[in-house]
A and B are shown apart, each in its own frame.
Chain A
Amino acid sequence: METLQIQQNMVNQLSKLIGKINNYKADSSGWIGSVIMFIFALIAAYRWHTSGLIFFALLVVRDLAASWFLISRKPSKEKNDSRLSEVLAYVSSACPFIYLNSMQPLPQAGLVSSILAIIGFAISTLALFDLGGSFGVSPANRGVVRTGLYRYVRHPMYSGYAISELGFVFLNPVNLIIYCISICFYLLRAKLESKILKT
């Protein structure tokens, strides 16, 4: 009799949890983004396990949080219909992958690069927690956030990315060109987001 009650309770709890997940009704891009971020979290966890570097633990927290926020995010009140802005957002997000490695790394350059990467990632992760359910890759109006880092900086997430990517310039001077392009993309994205949030 008691085991039946326990089983019934477990079924109730499970259906509540499934109900909560279904209530989020994330759009297809949210689900795809969430799966990608979860895969990134698994890769970061593997690299944390093999290298023992705490930086990868920070990446695991960031990627898991992004994965969760993408499926649990609020529906957008208004979305930019322009395909160009969406393409810009995804190309800009992929920019960090095209930076070149150092040819002959100086120890000081490696250290400065690592410090900038850690500071930048910490800022963007804190901004991600402030954004919460308003987080998204392509520009959309999910409500204006004015708490946490957003009280002091208009786009703390982009600022964090800009700081962390600056480290690549110290590794290879050619990266300065990619960095300038990446910053232009962030500025354009910030402008587009401000435009959507004003309407």
Chain B
Amino acid sequence: MKRILKILVVVLALGALVQTIALAKVNNGDTTDSTKHGEPTV
């Protein structure tokens, strides 16, 4: 049980880190535009 909870903490921390970095990129306007690379758009 303790091990499962510790894994949950690590997963949540990693998720929070990824989310924080992604949100910072979005707020800075650092988003990739797929049309620039000639990729098909839907």
Majority-rule SS of A interface residues: helix
**Contact between B19 and A58 (Cβ–Cβ < 8 Å)?**
no
In the bound complex, residues from chain B placing their C-beta under 8 Å from that of A107 are: 24, 27-28
Tally of contacts, chain A with chain B, CB under 8 A? 55
In-complex Cβ contact of A111 among B8, B13, B20 (8 A): B20
Q: How far is the CA of A126 from the CA of B13 in the complex (A)?
A: 11
Within 8 A of B (CB), among A31-59: 53-55, 57-58
B4 to chain A, nearest CB (A): 10
From B2, B20, B27, A118 is in contact (CB under 8 Å) with B20
Is A119 at the interface (CB under 8 A from chain B)? Answer: yes
* Interchain CB contact (< 8 A) of A55 among B8, B20, B21, B28: B20
Residues of chain B within 8 A (CB-CB) of A110 are 24
Give the CA-CA distance A61 to B21 in the complex, in Å.
22
Residue in B5, B19, B28 whose beta carbon sits within 8 Å of that of A61 in the complex: B5
How far is B5's CA from A129's CA once the two chains are assembled, in angstroms?
Answer: 8
The range of chain A's interface size is 20 to 34
Residue picked from B20, B27, B28, most chain A C-beta under 10 Å: B20
**In the complex with contacts A115-B20, A118-B20, A58-B13 CB distance below 8 A:** yes
Q: Which residues of A contact B (CB under 8 A)?
A: 53-55, 57-58, 61-62, 65, 107, 110-111, 114-115, 118-119, 121-122, 125-126, 129, 132, 148
18 A/B residue pairs, CB under 8 Å, sorted by A: A54-B12, A55-B16, A55-B20, A57-B16, A58-B13, A58-B16, A107-B27, A111-B21, A111-B24, A118-B13, A118-B17, A118-B20, A121-B13, A122-B13, A129-B2, A129-B5, A129-B9, A148-B6
